[in-house]
Each structure stands twice: as structure tokens, then as C-alpha cells.
Amino acid sequence: MGEGELKLLQGTLDLLVLKALVFGPRHGYGVARWIRDTSDAALQIEEGALYTSLHRLERRGWVESEWGVSENNRRAKYYALTADGRKQLAASTRTWTRYAEAVFKILGAAEAEATA
């Protein structure tokens, strides 16, 4: 894996994790399941990477964690967005959307030229 690839992947992964927490605090497993369910398992993400992402986000202060009790009555570590995390999510979403739009535009243009 090249370095550029990893960065893109990591940034995208962080974005997905932040998004997973926007509806309320979740534990790590919850985040993994939400991403899996929402994407219909289309994204091949190692769950270990999700955890490193969560901890990295926590270190940056975008996410905080507390031990709580899970739905099946077990001790679990819950993650929640901080105010900074929310801002970051909004900003990243904008950037990613613009980026995706730009990529799509180019891809679309190429198609048009080819058919012309």
C-alpha cells in the first residue's frame, strides 16, 4: 500500500466513524455494525482499523469515551462526538463531497467525450 492511498483511506475512515457517532454515543462494536449495515457490507473495512480510528479521533479531541453499560448489560466503552468533532464532521463532509463531486464530474466528462 502506498502512502497516499493509506492517507485517503484513513481520512475517509475517520469521516465514516464520525458520521457513525452523529446519532448518539456508540461503542466500538456499534460503530462497526452501523457502518457494515448502512453500507450493506460493501466497504471492506477491517474492524481493527475502526478502533484505531476511534482512538485517534479521541486523541484529537473530536471524540470522547466513557465506560457505560451496553444494551446486553455488559461494561462497554462508549464513544461520543465532541463539539469539535461535530465541526470536523461537517467540514470533512463538505470537503469529501466536493472531492467526490469533482471526481464524478471528471469521470462523467470522460464518458461524454468518448461517446461524442
Binding site for other proteins (CB under 8 A): 25, 27-29, 32-33, 46-49, 51-52, 55-56, 58-59, 64, 66-68, 70, 72, 74-77, 80-83
CB atoms within 10 A of CB 59: 9
Which one, 12 or 82, has the nearer CB to other proteins?
82
Burial zone of 21 (CB within 10 Å; 0-12 exposed, 13-18 middle, 19+ buried): buried
Residues forming beta bridges with residue 81, ordered by sequence position: 63
Q: Which is nearer to other proteins, 69 or 100 (CB)?
A: 69
Query: Which three cell numbers mark 52?
Result: 484505531
| Least gap, CB of 46 to other proteins (angstroms) | 3
Helix (H, G, I), strand (E, B) or coil at 15: helix
The least CB distance from residue 58 to other proteins, in Å, is 6
